[in-house]
Amino acid sequence: MKKVIVIGGGASGIIASLKLATKKYDVYLLERNSFIGKKLLVTGNGRCNYWNSNIDSKYYYTDNNNILEKLLSRRDEVFKFLSGLGIYPRIKNGLYYPYSNEALSVQKIFESQLLNSKVNLITNFKVEKIIKVANKFKCISENKDITGDILVIATGGLAYPKTGSDGILYPWLRKQNIKVNALNPALVPLFTGGDFLKKWAGIRSEAKIKLYIDSRYVKEEEGEIQLTKDGISGICVFNISSLVAKALSNKKDVQVRIDFLPNIDDLNSYLLKRIKLLKNGTILNLLYSLINIKLIDIISKKANIDINTNINKIDSKKLDCLIDLIKNFTIKITSIGDYNMAQVTTGGVSLEEINPNTLEVSKVSNLYLCGEILDVDGICGGYNLAFAFISGYIVGDSIND
């Protein structure tokens, strides 16, 4: 019986192991922590957003979209497999959570399934070195080793290092002449500079943000934005952070333009009507209930307008400046959150290095990759866990005598 070694007891490694357990293989799952699924427990704020009703390549960043689309075509088959393991969904706005709303319940299902399967789970096994010996793979830890015929690497990326993600096997992959694209944190806050940051820290606002790289429009997102002492955060910010990370690493100029009133297209007409309605009010009165009071002060100062100025005394140029700041508040992004803040890693092993039907590495026979170690990262909404499950399933399903 051939021995298959799976390195990494995260989402992709678990699914690969469970799928392999249905076949005639001696499966060994090596996990560096004392238990499996440590990173899984912190996803979705501890609720585990594990799937989305619209798994589509347009919600991912990768270096080969055609290959990604081929992988994602297995989505329905994989979801059926997950359901068969006992995960019952609670669906809200297309987001899938376990009905219990607890990531722990999903982790316990995986533990139970592995226990009842033929998988040999070995915890506290940190693979520090891999040696190929006579077409076999020898995985070496500090005080023991294990050798197998087939190797599956599902060690994740560099995000959430407290869960054990440290990228220790990237150098070994590069030595096999496997292309590893530049690695960066993703799904992270964005940082800027400015004396207004202390004033706006803690504000939450519905907004539309537009990303510009080297003055070229790239993408926009809409949703709740969190203003922090360092810059901006929130789901819509996270969703552009992969592009920002890559741009900054390539020394490009990055700007974000914030529209604090995305639901009012013609703000000029709206404010002119409001000025007539309020008659002798102030700038502060004019903007009350539209945007946060702290923002009113920040924006007015940038426009060189006293918030106590009578609205009938403001000239058209200053009104235009005020409107532009509300609809296009521009900040220069200077840096991003580090891997301790990151939910995922952007970059990784190029999809061009793998067989899209099996996820076997083209240059190394019997070596398979799945999960975050590949150059695929998704936006918020269960896309990253879904890809981990899909890629792990494909590996487990494709390994055959």
Give the burial class of 350: count Cβ atoms within 10 A of its Cβ; 0-12 exposed, 13-18 middle, 19 or more buried: middle
**Amino acid, single-letter form, for residue 324:** D
The residue-averaged pLDDT of 94-101 equals 97
Q: Where are the domains of the chain?
A: 3-184+345-398, 190-261+330-336, 267-327
C-alpha distances (whole Å) from 35 to each of 66, 104, 141, 386 are 36, 12, 17, 21
Query: pLDDT category, 44, cuts 50, 70, 90?
Result: confident
* Cα torsion angle, 271, 275, 276, 277, sign: positive
CA atoms within a 13 Å half-sphere pointing along the CA-CB vector of 19: 26
The structure tokens 């009507």 sit at 273
Least confident of 61-75, 275-289, 386-400: 275-289
pLDDT of residue 134 exceeding 90 = no
Query: pLDDT category, 95, cuts 50, 70, 90?
Result: very high
Residues 292 and 295: their CA atoms lie apart, in Å, by 5
Instruction: Name 367's Cβ contacts closer than 8 Å, sequence gap at least 6.
Output: 137, 150, 151, 153, 176, 360, 361
Express each pLDDT in 243-267 by its tens digit. 999 999 999 999 999 999 999 999 9
Domain 190-261+330-336 in CATH 1.20.120? The answer is: no
Backbone angles phi, psi at 236, to 5 degrees: -65, -30
Query: pLDDT category, 131, cuts 50, 70, 90?
Result: very high
pLDDT at 318: 92
pLDDT at 313: 87
pLDDT at 172: 97
pLDDT at 107: 97
The residue-averaged pLDDT of 229-236 equals 97
pLDDT at 247: 98
pLDDT of residue 392 exceeding 80 = yes
C-alpha distances (whole Å) from 318 to each of 109, 298, 309 are 61, 15, 12
The residue-averaged pLDDT of 307-334 equals 94
* Mean pLDDT over the full length of the chain: 96
* Cα torsion angle, 213, 216, 219, 225, sign: positive
The residue-averaged pLDDT of 10-20 equals 98
The structure tokens 């051939």 sit at 2
pLDDT of residue 401 exceeding 80 = no
Residues 385 and 12: their CA atoms lie apart, in Å, by 8
Q: What is the DSSP string of 317-377?
A: HHHHHHHHHHH-EEEE--EE--TTT-SEEEEEE-GGGB-TTT-BBTTSTTEEE-GGGBSEE
The residue-averaged pLDDT of 336-350 equals 97
DSSP class of 310: B
Cβ proximity of 232 and 255 under 8 Å: no
pLDDT at 1: 85
CB atoms < 10 A from the CB of 212, how many?
18
76: left (phi over 0), alpha (psi -120 to 50) or beta: alpha
Number of residues in the chain: 401
Cβ proximity of 335 and 248 under 8 Å: yes
The residue-averaged pLDDT of 137-162 equals 96
pLDDT of residue 242 exceeding 80 = yes
pLDDT of residue 216 exceeding 90 = yes
The residue-averaged pLDDT of 112-136 equals 95
For strand 344-349 and strand 180-186, is the pairing parallel, antiparallel, or unpaired?
Answer: antiparallel
pLDDT at 280: 83
pLDDT at 143: 86
Residues 199 and 61: their CA atoms lie apart, in Å, by 34
Query: pLDDT category, 45, cuts 50, 70, 90?
Result: confident
Query: pLDDT category, 278, cuts 50, 70, 90?
Result: confident
Nearest C-alpha neighbor of 109 from the set 18, 27, 5? 18
Residues 309 and 322: their CA atoms lie apart, in Å, by 13
Cβ proximity of 348 and 246 under 8 Å: no
CATH number of the domain located at residue range(s) 3-184+345-398 in this protein: 3.50.50.60
pLDDT of residue 10 exceeding 90 = yes
Residues 378 and 75: their CA atoms lie apart, in Å, by 15
The residue-averaged pLDDT of 168-197 equals 97
